[in-house]
Structures are given as C-alpha cells and as structure tokens.
Amino acid sequence: MNLQRWLVAAMMMAGAAWAVEPPAPYGPVPNAAQLNWHAGDFIGFLHFTVNTFTDREWGLGDEPESIFNPTEFDADQIVRVAAEAGMKRLILTCKHHDGFCLWPSKFTEHSVKNSPWKNGKGDVVREISDACKKYGLQFGTYLSPWDRNHKDYARPEYLTYYRNQLRELLTNYGPVTEVWFDGANGGDGYYGGARERRKIDNKTYYDWPNTWKIVYELQPLACMFSDGGPEVRWVGNERGIAGDPCWATMNRDNYYPGVGGVNAQLNRGERPGTHWLPAECDVSIRPGWFYHAKEDDRVRTPENLVDLYYKSIGRGANFLLNLPPDRRGKVHENDVKSLQGFRKIIDATFARDLAQGAQAVASHVRGNDARFAAAHVLDGKGDTYWSCDDGVTTPELVLELGKAVTFNVVSLREFLPLGQRVDDWALDRWANGAWVEFASGSAIGPRRLWRGDNITTEKVRLRITKAPVCPAISEFALHLEPDWARKTGPGEQLVRGLTKSNWQVVSSSFEAGRGGAARNAIDDDPKTLWHTHGPKGEQAPPQFIVIDTGKEQEFGGCTYLPRSDGTTRGIVDQYEIFVSADGQVWGAPVAKGEFGNIKANPIQQVVTFAKPAKGRFVKFVGLHSADGNHISVAELGLLAK
Ligand code: FUL
C-alpha cells in the first residue's frame, strides 16, 4: 500500500470527521429497473409464430391457427443455447403483428389453443418462461400493439383487448423484466375479415401513459422498450449498431412508439437530455427476424457477432440478438454453431483483465478519501469508483503495469447512479519516455470499449478531456483479443441471381435521367438507384420497369435490393411481378405481395415464385412505398428455377 492510501486508511479508522460526501448526481440517472437492465447487457430475442410456417416476415392476420405446429418444440434447448451464449434475458414474441397468440389467451380464439400443436393444450409463453427460470435467465414479453387479425384494431375497443392481454402476460408467467412495445403500426390487414387498410395516430391511439400504468402496477421492475421508452429506447436501426457516441440520455417527451423520422436521434441519444433512456440494439442473427430455411447459410458469422458486440455494448447500449426458432421449434444448428464461436472469442478476450496487479495513480482523488481512490477502477466491482473534488473536471489516471503488457481492447465504465458525467476522453500509451495518444472519443456511460491494434507498453493513461462535473469511473481494464479471433468475416452476403450482362431496360413508367436512371436498377451497383422522383416532382406508385433478359428461360424468383444510403424514401413495400415471352402480353402476375418490415430492416428481399415462370421479359411493379410518394430501387435480380 502506498503512503497516501495508508494515511487515508489510518485517518478513516481514526474516525476523522473530514470524510467527504460522494459527488452529487449529474443530470438524469437510471432507476432500479434500468440498473438491472444495464447489468444484463446481452439479451436474446425469440421471433416465433405463424410466420415461421408461412415463410413471411409480417403475417397478414388471416393465417389459420392450424398452421402453427412445431414438430419438436424444445424450450429447454432454446433457452440453454441462449444461456450458453451468455445472454441474461430472453424476450419472446408472444404476439407479433399477425395477432396469433403463443399462449391460450382468454380474450381471443386466435391462439395456440386452436392449433394442432399439443392438441391445443400447449403454451409457448409458459414453456419459455419456465425454462428461463430453470437456466437463471430473466424473461421479457413482446406484445405487438399492431394486430392485423383483430376486428376492432384501430377502434377504441381494441385498446381494451390489448390491455387485457398485457395483464394476462404480466400476471400469469412470473417475473417479467422487459416489455417490448414495437413501433410498427397500421396498414393492410385481415381485421376480422374486413381486409382493408387501417391507420391510427401513433401518438394518441394507444393512450400510452395509461398502458404503462399497467406495467408499473404489475411488474415494477420491468423496463419498457419503445422508440420513446419510457425506460429503454430503440437504437434507430435493426442492424445492431449504436451511434458513436451513443448517449444514455434523451429528451424523452419528444418520442413515442412509431414516432418516425427520428432514427438519427435515437441512434446517438441527446445530451444532456431530460431522462435516462439508454439504447437497445435489436438485430437478428439471420437476415430476417423469423426463421426461413432459405437463410440457413446466411447466418451471421462469429466474427460478425463480435463486431456487433463492440458496436452495441461497446458503445454503452445493450445487445438484443434474435435467435428465431425453426419449424421444429428449436434454434437451428447453424445459429448454435455461430453463437458458440462468438462466445469463445468474447470469453478468450475478457476472461483476463491485464491491468490486474497494476498501480492506479490519479492526478486527483476526491477529498483524498480511499472511498474514491484510483484503485477502484481495478477492483472489478461495479459499485465502487474513482472520483475527484467538485470542479476537477479534466483529471488523469495512470495504470502503472510494472512490465510491458500487450493489449488491444480497453474497457471503461462510469458509475451509473451518478449519471453520465464524461463528455470526452483520451487514452495514451507510454513510449520512449513520452505519452502518445492512441484513442479518443465522446461518452463513456454504461460501457465504452476501444478495440484496435496490439499495443505494448508499461503505462497507460486515461485523460478526461471534457466534462461538466468531476468524473466517477468504475472500470479501466485492458484485454487482449487473441490473433485467431481477428479475421474479418464476410459482411452482409447478397443473394446473387442470374448474370445481368445481356440485360436491357425496355421501358419504365418514369425515367428520372442522370442520378436516378432506370438502368441503375440492373447495373450490379447497389449504390446507384432508379427512382421515380425527378425535376417534375415525385411520381407516385404504382411504377413499373420492364427488363429484357436477352433470352427465353425459366425463372424461379426475383430479388429486390432497397436503397442503403440511410434514407428509406421510396422503398417498395408492396410489389407485383410479371413474366412475358414477348414483352407485350403479360397475363396474371407470377408473384404479388408485401415486403414485411422492409422500412425498419432494409435488406435484400428474395421472392420465390410459386412455380417457375417461363419467359424472356420481366416486369417489376412497385405498388406502394414505405416512405415518400415515389419508388426507389437499388437493384433488381432474377433467380434461376
Ligand atoms: C419491427 C417489427 O416490425 C419486426 O417484424 C420485428 O419484430 C422487429 C424486432 O421490430 O419493428
């Protein structure tokens, strides 16, 4: 023990009356439910329902209950896989937008009780929540506010139905620690047979404050997730990537589920912000949220999952990874394999803190009091921290390692009960008798991971370079990600269809000319667009394009790649496809439908034709777009039969 610490300890034992108070909290701080949420930063999502059996991303609401029939449903396997991957909580789609309930709700016939699975005696919510208890995972519910099955959707009566269901889920299945309110809302549906388009006002229809009360009353330790919380916010994309920085605070009253047009704010947060409202990064291990056999070889690689870990948890958000059960009712082998690879890398990296045994020496210690000593950044405890006197806002802390140590990951954490205190920070290494900066950034919050090339040094320094108040830092750790884990996995793989070298655009309903030319839809360049927005303004859907593929052949399907430049304008969410021998006579469409969830998750869409279609010319029609009054196409492709 060094002299300073010895003195402090001696004076404390002597009951010295000068003991200093902890710093006052700065700005909004997390409540108990949020602190519990922060403690389990890796969460699993289970998307499972009729869509698993229809191969859709959004069910229409008219699916017969009879199609829900997993052949070997195994809650134990599902939850064990999640537990072994290191997840601390599992959230189940108890009801997705199609309205089918995975539990025998008293309030509808549209549920497992009318499916052949377990002769109508099954209850997926029961089995998953029980298995969570067995494996020590927390349980969360997803109850879609939008319901394409219910006859009363968009009328006041539906709200009573929705709240009754919420009560059922929060009363009958033990502790629920997260309640997910999805923002997707309103549109075409079955609606008890009406088959029409229904629109609601996202802000007022659900009377959210009174719906939240049910959760506060029945499950006070639950966090509610939505675009606007109130406890946890959407991160603004479904790619698993938080902003850099990603503040844990927001001006919460400006947001509500389905608010729209605010993805950038949700991604970064707002500082100082009126409320503690940290981000959750929801992303699927596969391109879609539901299981589709055709995506079996498009499961994210272990390296890609690790990358997402750093871009979510490493930026202070939580990582919510979807593992969609397949038609058996199990997590598919490919997903299991990838998760195991991911866990192996994370364990190998974080099992050892290479700063252990170092001396932590700070430029300032609050009141020279051992309770705020620099050594607390090394003690592995979340409830101790290093701090400084009020007014000391740019202090430094050096880890003297005593020997050359090699690391490539640094982990920092703030002590959250005192709020998010640090604006900017920098890290230096000691090299040839001088400090050399190797990293800097904004925001620490719940966690900040820096990941870079190997650094070998005997001393590392953390500098707080901008803060409104003195800091409260609870962790400064050094890790080494092993070499074998550092290969960069392939990025998002696109389905490659037939070669387009002989293709021509024969005609299109609109030619925007340079910058938006129809030719861009088949130029094999995902960055260029055909869009129907020109000097004369937006050309509303329907809009079509006709492609000559050069020779008569049989097509098995078609692909549509939406724009990926950050905006969702013109992204097609309803389509029709025709095939013709001569480009004159078209007949009935070979495929027609909806690209479910394309706005929030703008990934390549693959349409498989019900039967192979023979012809030379193909017409793609955008019938409706998710956003804006025109359509846009990054790339169209065709699949061989
Ligand atoms: C979205 C939904 O529309 C998707 O289907 C999925 O459930 C995702 C997690 O949230 O908004």
Window from 66-70, 415-419, 445-449, 535-539 with minimum mean pLDDT: 535-539
**Ligand 1: residue whose CA is nearest its atom 6:** 289
Distance 184 CA to ligand 1 centre (A): 7
Report the separation in Å between the CA atom of 464 and the middle of ligand 1, taken as the mean of its atom positions.
39
Nearest partner of 631 among 523, 536, 518, judged by Cα: 518
Does position 189 have pLDDT exceeding 60, yes or no?
Answer: yes
**Cα dihedral across residues 508, 514, 516, 520: positive or negative:** positive
The per-residue pLDDT for range 454-505, each reduced to its tens digit, is: 999 999 999 999 999 999 999 999 999 999 998 765 556 788 889 998 999 9
For residue 403, report the distance from its CA to the centre of ligand 1, in Å: 50
Distance CA 439, CA 435 (A): 12
pLDDT in tens, 44-74: 999 999 999 999 999 999 999 999 999 999 9
This prediction's pTM: 0.90
Q: Which residue's CA is the nearest one to ligand 1's atom 5?
A: 597
Contact (Cβ atoms closer than 8 angstroms) between residue 252 and residue 225? no
For residue 331, the SS3 value is coil
pLDDT in tens, 208-217: 999 999 999 9
Give the model's confidence band at 184: pLDDT under 50 very low, under 70 low, under 90 confident, else very high: confident
Ligand 1 binding pocket (C-beta < 6 A) is: 57-58, 182-184, 282, 289, 597, 600
User: Of 149-158, 160-169, 423-432, 605-614, which range is least confident?
Assistant: 605-614
Q: What is the pLDDT of residues 344-367, one digit of tens each?
A: 999 999 999 999 999 999 999 999
Question: Cα(599)–Cα(572) distance, rounded to whole angstroms?
Answer: 9
Residue 341 has pLDDT above 90, yes or no: yes
How far apart, in whole angstroms, are the C-alpha atoms of residue 410 and residue 462? 10
Both tokens of 101, joined, read 């309930």
Give the separation between CA 376 and CA 358, rounded to whole angstroms: 12
Q: Which atom of ligand 1 sits closest to the CA of residue 282?
A: 9
- Interval between CA 597 and ligand 1 midpoint (Å): 6
Kindly report the protein residue whose alpha carbon is nearest to atom 11 of ligand 1. 184
CA of 182 to the centre of ligand 1 (A): 7
Report CA Rg, the chain. Answer: 27
* CA 289 to ligand 1 center in whole angstroms: 7
Q: Which token pair is 189?
A: 């549906």
What single-letter DSSP state applies at residue 432? T
Query: How does residue 1 score in pLDDT terms, banded at 50, 70 and 90?
Result: very low
Q: How far is the CA of 507 from the centre of ligand 1 (A)?
A: 35
Ligand 1 centroid, distance to 520 Cα (angstroms)? 30
User: How far does the centroid of ligand 1 lie from the alpha carbon of residue 454, in Å?
Assistant: 39
Measured from the CA of 182, which atom of ligand 1 is nearest?
Answer: 11
pLDDT tops 50 at residue 534:
yes
Nearest to 181 by CA among 237, 216, 136, 228: 228
Ligand 1 atom having least distance to the Cα of 144? 7
How much is the average pLDDT of 500-529? 91
Structure tokens at 313: 């948890």
**pLDDT top residue among 568 and 439:** 439
Which atom belonging to ligand 1 lies closest to the Cα atom of 58?
5
Whether the pLDDT of residue 2 is over 60: the answer is: no
- CA 44 to ligand 1 centroid distance, Å: 14
Mutate which of 54, 98, 289, 322 to test ligand 1's pocket (most atoms within 8 Å of Cβ)? Answer: 289
- Report the separation in Å between the CA atom of 420 and the middle of ligand 1, taken as the mean of its atom positions: 30
Gap from CA of 179 to ligand 1 centroid (Å): 14
The three-class DSSP label of residue 282 is strand
Residue to substitute in 182, 188, 227, 237 for testing ligand 1 pocket (most ligand atoms within 8 angstroms of CB): 182
Distance CA 303, CA 314 (A): 15
Ligand 1: residue of 100, 234, 601, 603 to mutate (most ligand atoms within 8 A of CB) is: 601
Among 238, 319, 594, the mutation site with the greatest number of ligand 1 atoms within 8 A of its Cβ is 238
| pLDDT of amino acid 637 | 95
Residue 75 belongs to what H/E stretch?
Answer: helix 75-84
Q: From CA 300, how far away is CA 313, in angstroms rounded?
A: 17
How far CA 384 is from CA of 4, 145, 177, 387, 411, in Å, comes to: 19, 41, 25, 10, 16
Confidence class for position 16, pLDDT limits 50, 70, 90: very low
Average pLDDT over residues 27-39: 98
Mean pLDDT of the chain: 94
Q: How far apart are CA 273 and CA 160, in angstroms?
A: 33
Q: How far is the CA of 281 from the centre of ligand 1 (A)?
A: 12
**What is the number of the ligand 1 atom nearest to the C-alpha of 96?**
7
On whether the CB atoms of residues 469 and 29 are closer than 8 A, the answer is no
Ligand 1 atom nearest to CA at 322? 9
Residues with Cβ within 8 Å of 469's Cβ and at least 6 positions away in sequence, in order, are 23, 24, 26, 390, 393, 421
Q: Residue 15 above 80 pLDDT?
A: no
- Residue 151: pLDDT band (50, 70, 90) is very high
Distance CA 178, CA 169 (A): 12
Q: What is the pLDDT of residue 6?
A: 57
With a CB cutoff of 8 Å and minimum separation 6, the contacts of 166 are: 143, 179, 211, 214, 215
Assess whether pLDDT exceeds 80 at residue 11: no
Residues 6+ positions from 613 with CB-CB distance below 8 Å: 554, 555, 579, 590
Give me the domains of the chain, ranges plus CATH numbers: 40-233+278-344 (3.20.20.80), 353-485 (2.60.120.260), 504-640 (2.60.120.260)
Cα gap 322→332, rounded to integer Å: 12
- Dist. CA 225–CA 25, nearest whole Å: 24
Å from CA of 93 to ligand 1 middle: 10
Q: Whose CA is nearest to atom 10 of ligand 1?
A: 182
Whether residue 5 has pLDDT greater than 70: no
Asked if residue 10 has pLDDT above 60, the reply is: no
Atom of ligand 1 nearest to the CA of 57: 5
Query: Pocket of ligand 1, candidates 597, 603, 605: which has the most ligand atoms within 8 Å of its Cβ, to mutate?
Result: 597
For the CA of 93, the nearest atom of ligand 1: 7
Taking each helix axis from N to C end, the angle separating 124-135 and 75-84, rounded to the nearest 10 degrees, works out to: 40
